[in-house]
Chains A and B, each alone.
Chain A
Amino acid sequence: MAINKTTCHCGCGKSDLRDGKESDAKLTVALIGNQNCGKTTLFNALTGANQYVGNWPGVTVDRVIGRTLQQPWDVVDLPGLYSLSPYSAEEIVSRNFLLSDSFDVILNVLDATHLERSLSLTLELLPLGKPMVVALNMMDLLKKDRNVTLDPAKIAAKLGVEVIPISASSGEGLKELYSALGRARQRTQSNPAVPQNVHDAIDAIGALLGDQTPAQRYFIAKALLQQDKVYAEEYLTVPGVEEAVQKGRSLIAKEHGLDAEAFFPQMRYAFIDSLMVEALSRSSKPLSAVFSEKIDQVVTNRFWALPVFLAVIYVIYYLAVSTIGTWSTDFANDVVFGEWCTEAAESVLESLGAPEWVSSMMIEGLIGGVGAVLGFVPQMMVLFFLLSILEQCGYMTRVAFVLDRLFRKFGLSGRSFIPILIATGCAVPALMATKTLDNINERRLTLLTASYLPCSAKLPIMTMIFVSFFPDSVYIAPLIYLLGIFSIVCTGIILKKNSAFKEEVSPFVMELPDYHLPSVRNLLLTVYERCKAFIVKAGTVIFGTVMVVWFLSRFGFGPEGFGMVEISDSMLAAIGTSIAFIFAPLGFGTWQAAVAVITGLMAKENVVGTLAVLLEVGEDVAEDDATLSAAIQGAFPGALAAFAFLAFNLWSTPCIAALAAMKRQYVSGRWFAFAVCYMLLWAYSLALVIYQLGGMLTGAVPFSIFTIIALVVLGAFLYLLFRPDRTNGVPLVIPARTVS
């Protein structure tokens, strides 16, 4: 830490003088606390919108860094944690960071209304020996509560660090927090919860560990005593360490009657109990807890929970998909990009005398393609706003609680329901909404399956095929949705057995936080951060792809050599012709269908328009137009082939905008590639089985090698679906009593 003081460059020098203390010019603050303790609110209050989201090296955990508004300090927002055990990526990145030299002071946020649980983490941080300040958040709630009085000074005395009462949501106490952070100095390591003989045992192990700092040695030695698997591999081979660990464990067992894993938490909570007796007096439960209990009597009630959930979902769906969200997106797409931008660009280009290919590129490629993506932003804003309310008021954890039993059967979480439902409107905001899933396995599966129920852009394809081939059928539309649900459930069951989807996560032991009103500032910041991330990342990917496909569909070798041509002479048509054979086993091996599939990847809305152009019906026909129907009937050999075409379009990868959102959420390129391949394979297999086996049963398709392949595919599917689940690694749920 730069102890040398310099002038402050932010114009706050006066307050330094008034405090009579020097302030460090540059400070890196590690912000840490439990989930639901108001850590994010405090982070937002300290840093405003100056936040940078990245990733911790090697893992898909967000690394958020912000610059404080009043000082030139960086705040690193560590994941919300309950302890520093080695069982999730969040815990491991956090403790590695805390053991490093990359920061100057720890800012530990506690929830004053749930002190006991919050303090357990504090007691794990004290032995790190770093300068540390404790922020006692939600003090405003506590002050209003006559049943409870809390003395922060007594906590400070017991812990040996400064304790600052604050209210992150109202900004109360932030000034004091700033100055406490500025004067936080090196302190000695302390571990008040542990008796001397255990200290000695830890030090005995630590002495063998080599050239780390004392704090690292202490932490690693304590972790080894608790059979920490991360350090066990590395250090148990060091001569003498294993013996010292065994000695320490038997000492704890003998003197305290507990195994070491139980001993340390037990000691922490015993210390907390004695601290609470001194610092806190309460005549009954805190008001906030009483209030939450009352709400939960309805919201998590055995009979009311599901109706309440459905009502909430209905309101969200109604606002984000049926009304405001769609109006704003339609307005953005049809008016802002469809008329204003297009007309403005046309007149500018015309006045400049730009050649035709330039104006086509600008209008069809740039405005048409990138505009289609940006058009989703208003809808996403509405949706994120509503979801943030649910998250921040505490309802989202109740959703996971209520639906857990049902969804975990196929590897998803109760919270997956929300993205899946939103995807019936549009997959782009749905995929972005998977951020609310904190279990990485469930998030990966939800990302893959969320677009399996047809979104609104896929409806015209359905209408087109229905009108042409199944005009009077009432069962075909429900069948599509059933196949969508079938795809989600089967994909979940097949993939959750795979070891790749068994990444170790914190077990489902989840706090149900007290309900409270979300702050508008937090809501808006969340919406801003999520939309910004989408616009930047999705915008760049989409821009490139849109340009390539535009170029391929507008250029080709015409009668006058290479140049702008009709789509039927374009390079895209050539590509369609060359890949059409791939779709032949599915019954639609024509170049027109292949091109429609490709343009469908850009946006599913394109499928009908492309087919209309390629079948020479004209561009602007409705999907239920009679001429189009006749042309479509001619283009497919039969209803089964048309159905297979529909199935491939519905269950292969979603449109490019959704893919960009998906890539952003997967973070890892390999996972994204896997998801794309899986979806293509799933859609191809489904279409193959429908066409070949459906055809065999009805006699419409002659028996061929592909019939056998389809049977093999079906067999493989059934095997994958019903094969036993072999759990690798450490099971998360173990049968009780067999151990011990």
Chain B
Amino acid sequence: MLHLNELKPGQSAVVKHVFGEGTALRRRLLDMGITPKTEVKLVRQAPLGDPLQLEVRGYELAMRSSDANLVEVEVQHGH
């Protein structure tokens, strides 16, 4: 199982599942468009290694690595 924070900078993947039912964080991630089947790219890490800069649905999003760990992703072959 691969998580969003485990991607390498520049790597893209597709969201499979967002964990953390009942939390504000999960609701926020879903509201911001990190829904299953969405393509997400890890653009880069901040200078101190955390948070992460992501690209989702054509916009840039920052989130902490520990929060990104809630998102299970799958790297599509051919990407």
Contact = CB atoms under 8 A, between A and B. Distances in A.
Nearest to A404: B51
A512 interface: yes
A303 interface: yes
B45 to A, nearest CB: 7
Given A510-B62, A736-B70, A300 B30 contact: no
A513 B49 CA distance: 21
Residue in A261, A289, A306 with the greatest tally of chain B CB atoms within 10 Å: A261
Nearest to B59: A114
B46 interface: yes
Interface in B1-33: 3, 17-33
Contacts of A504: 24
A508 B64 contact: yes
Contacts, number: 163
Contacts of A506: 24, 28
Contacts of B43: 296
Given A83-B31, A404-B51, A405-B48, A259 B21 contact: yes
Contact of A261 (B21, B33, B51, B67): B21
A631 B18 CA distance: 70
Contacts of A401: 46, 51, 53, 62
Contacts of B28: 82-83, 85, 87, 506-507, 509
Nearest to A401: B62
Interface stretch (A18-26, A262-270, A438-446, A675-683): A262-270
Residue in A227, A286, A512, A736 with the greatest tally of chain B CB atoms within 10 Å: A736
A390 to B, nearest CB: 16
B41 to A, nearest CB: 11
A126 to B, nearest CB: 16
Contacts of B17: 740
Contacts of A733: 25, 64, 66-67
B12 to A, nearest CB: 14
Interface in A23-80: none
B25 A404 contact: no
A199 B23 CA distance: 24
A301 B48 CA distance: 11
B65 to A, nearest CB: 9
A302 to B, nearest CB: 5
B67 A507 contact: yes
B20 A739 contact: yes
B61 A511 contact: yes
A402 B46 CA distance: 5
A286 B57 CA distance: 12
A737 B27 CA distance: 16
B31 A296 contact: no
Contacts of B66: 733, 736
A582 interface: no
B32 A117 contact: yes
B27 A286 contact: no
Nearest to B63: A509
Contacts of B59: 114, 116-117, 289, 511-514
Nearest to A508: B64
A316 interface: no
Interface in A251-296: 258-259, 261-262, 265-266, 269, 285-286, 289, 292, 296
Contacts of B64: 404, 508, 733
Residue in B30, B45, B60, B67 with the greatest tally of chain A CB atoms within 10 Å: B60
Contacts of A116: 33, 57-59
Interface of A: 82-83, 85, 87, 114, 116-117, 120, 226-227, 258-259, 261-262, 265-266, 269, 285-286, 289, 292, 296, 300-303, 305-306, 397, 400-406, 504, 506-514, 730-737, 739-740
Interface of B: 3, 17-33, 35-36, 38, 43-51, 53, 57-64, 66-67, 69-70
21 contacts: A82-B32, A83-B27, A85-B27, A87-B28, A116-B33, A116-B57, A261-B26, A266-B30, A289-B59, A296-B43, A296-B53, A300-B46, A302-B45, A306-B47, A404-B46, A404-B51, A405-B51, A512-B59, A733-B67, A734-B70, A736-B66
Given A261-B21, A300-B53, A736-B70, 10 more contacts: A85-B28, A266-B30, A400-B62, A402-B46, A507-B25, A509-B32, A511-B61, A732-B24, A733-B66, A736-B69
